[in-house]
Chain A
């Protein structure tokens, strides 16, 4: 099966930087996604990585190392509205087609 690990909870201060790590073990790796989900709301897409390296989108960046089975989501200049759960999801290829498995999510609490 697929195994995805991310920390359960992190706390950071407004204006600071937080890095959320995600490690995975899978065969047929075919891309990694990050989603943000505020309590009681639907997930929203943040980023997609399939090649090694860093993808930057404003205050958010996502990094992938395929050889290490490792990704992180970097949130810079934290704002109170960034308090949410962040979900790492791995897409992998099976004979029947692409599959997608989510980690349990990391709850980030931003304090003033």
Chain B
């Protein structure tokens, strides 16, 4: 039963600290997405990668957020320095885009609940 995994599941940190969230996509999936969900803003796409290359990160605050895929089995989202307004649930999702098709099913991980005090 292939699943997207995310660590940590919960993180409480103080303002100004660096936060790193990790995601392991489903093996064989070539597209990885980072989302943020809050009560006020709902679900927002922050960034996504295809074949490890960043395709779009326009949803991320560039000054403090960075997303990378050091290899095909690991995606990271970093916040430095963190601020209270970054408190949210951060979801990673992966999918497989076959060439010549428009298939776009995404599988979400369980999320990282971040609280910045």
Residues of A near any B CB (own CB < 8 A): 31, 33, 41-45, 48, 50, 87, 89, 91, 96-105
Q: A89's closest neighbor in chain B, by CB?
A: B43
Q: How far apart sit A104 and B79, CA to CA, in the bound complex (Å)?
A: 25
Q: How many residues on the B side are at the interface (Cβ–Cβ under 8 A)?
A: 18
In this assembly, does B18 line the interface, its C-beta being within 8 Å of a C-beta of chain A?
no
The answer to whether B45 and A99 touch across the interface, beta carbons within 8 angstroms, is: yes
Whole-angstrom CA separation of A48 from B104 in the bound complex: 8
Interface membership of B1, Cβ < 8 A: no
Contact with A along B42-54 (1 / 0, CB 8 A): 1111000000000
In this complex, what residue of A is CB-closest to B56?
A97
A-side binding surface: helix, strand, loop or mixed?
A: strand
The answer to whether A99 and B56 touch (CB under 8 A), given A43-B43, A43-B108, A50-B102, is yes
B27 at the interface (CB under 8 A from A): no
The distance in angstroms between the C-alpha atoms of A97 and B108, with both chains bound, is 22
Closest to A45 in B: B105
Given known A-B contacts A31-B102, A99-B45, A104-B42, A42 and B56 have beta carbons under 8 A apart = no
Residues of A within 8 A of B105 (CB): 45, 48
B45 neighbours in A (Cβ, 8 Å): 99-102
- 7 CB contacts below 8 A, A to B, read A33-B104, A41-B110, A45-B105, A45-B107, A99-B45, A99-B58, A100-B45
